[in-house]
Amino acid sequence: MKNILAEFKQFIMRGNVLDMAIGIIIGVAFGKVVTSLVNDIIMPPVGLLLGRVSFQDLYINLSGQSYASLDVAKVAGAPTINYGAFLNTVFDFVIVAFVIFFLIKMFNKVRRQAEKPAEVTTRECPYCISTIALKAVRCPNCTSDLS
């Protein structure tokens, strides 16, 4: 048992696990910000443009009875399909996917710039195979004429 706990401690303390945990925590916080953006900033004007519709209240009642709102139907225990909440979740996903796309795009651009091959400034002398400057006209080692 003691060996298993030691292995678990070693696993948890690895840098990859800590980085992943930090990423998950930041991702959850980012998800909450995006959800608030969609629910509180984006959807109210869209609902206003579509005739004062609150997407959160859009639902299909499966019970056959009439209810004044989704909240009343939920309190009554009526089965409902809450497609307005689903639309909000889809908007959340699209925004998160869009932001992640641009983050990855920027990361790849920076990585490509960092991976550019170094500029070639030397070459080999064809006579003595020593390394010489690219612009050299005479080898400093064997004094051969390279022009």
Tell me the per-residue pLDDT of 68-114, one tens digit each, with 9 for 90 and over: 888 898 899 999 999 988 988 888 888 888 888 888 899 888 888 87
The one-letter amino acid at 77: G
- Residue partners of 127: CB distance under 8 A and separation at least 6: 139, 142, 144
Lowest mean pLDDT among 19-23, 42-46, 52-56: 52-56
- Using CB atoms within 10 Å of the CB of residue 19, give its burial: 0 to 12 exposed, 13 to 18 middle, 19+ buried: exposed
- Looking from the CA of 138 toward its CB, the CA atoms found within 13 Å total 2
Averaged pLDDT score across all residues of the chain: 85
**For 2-116, which CATH class?**
mainly alpha
Q: What does pTM read for this prediction?
A: 0.55
To 10 degrees, what angle do helices 15-36 and 83-114 make?
A: 130
- Please report, to the nearest 10 degrees, the dihedral formed by the alpha carbons of residues 96, 50, 78, 81 taken in order: -40
Q: Residue 55's pLDDT is what?
A: 77
Q: Could you give the 3-state DSSP secondary structure of residue 39?
A: helix
CA distance 109 to 104: 9
Q: Residue 15's pLDDT is what?
A: 65
- The answer to whether residues 46 and 55 touch, using CB atoms and an 8 Å cutoff, is yes
